[in-house]
Amino acid sequence: MSLRKVVFAPGEYYHLYNRGNSKQKVFLDKKDYDRFLKLVFVCNSYKNINFRDLFKHHKEVSEFDRGETLVDIGAYCLMPNHFHLLVKEKSDGNVSLFMQKLATAYVMYFNKKYNRSGSLFEGKFKSQHGSSDEHLKYLFSYIHLNPVKIIDPKWKELGVKNKNTAYNYCKNYKYSSLGYFVKKQGEAHSIVLNVGVFPKYFINPSGYQSEMFEWLGFSLGKSP
């Protein structure tokens, strides 16, 4: 068994991510994105859950009483072939338990829906420790700037063509939490996130825009 390079410690912040095998898409339609976000909410719980009964009897997943959460979630972004989560570990082992529950539940849903079998993701989820305020701010921008690749695939190599266009696309991207911070919109954001335990780096939407504009002028390195 391979050991993780990153050891999860209570009270610390982590960037978690994974992608489909051979970069295959893991979200093929709107219902897939929506199911994954619902599972992020539901799996963030100590409870053992019968997902078939849950989604059969609850019209709104927020009706489910999940009790105490395993982790706190501060940001997320779902892309066609991968996902990103920014979390805070609450107790020893909680990050791993949460991610195991999430991956298992989503793969079961995906395989049944598309009549397939076997693994979907590229091995174990990956992680980075947000070891400083500077790094945590970087991770926030890195996660939320991922959608730029959809409209400008080579922006990291060639530079972004238009910062306003790129930022507005990210701001309005449905499967990212950026819209919550700059527009305060979206039920999925409000039930998934617990931003109160994360540092408040920006006091208004213009602060987020300025920070992300700055990063759009640089390469953020490779993403999944």
C-alpha neighbours within 13 Å on the C-beta side of residue 200? 6
Q: Provide the pLDDT for residue 213.
A: 87
Calpha distance 154→65 (Å, rounded)? 43
Q: Give the CATH fold of the 13-129 domain.
A: Alpha-Beta Plaits (3.30.70)
Domain boundaries, the chain: 13-129, 133-183+199-216
* Structure-model confidence comparison of residues 65 and 198, the more confident one: 198
Given a cut of 90, whether residue 57 has pLDDT beyond it is: no
Task: List, for residues 162-177, the tens digit of each pLDDT value.
Answer: 889 999 999 999 999 9
Given a cut of 50, whether residue 93 has pLDDT beyond it is: yes
Task: List, for residues 116-149, the tens digit of each pLDDT value.
Answer: 999 999 989 999 999 899 999 999 999 999 999 9
Given a cut of 50, whether residue 224 has pLDDT beyond it is: no
Calpha distance 140→24 (Å, rounded)? 25
Average pLDDT over residues 3-8: 75
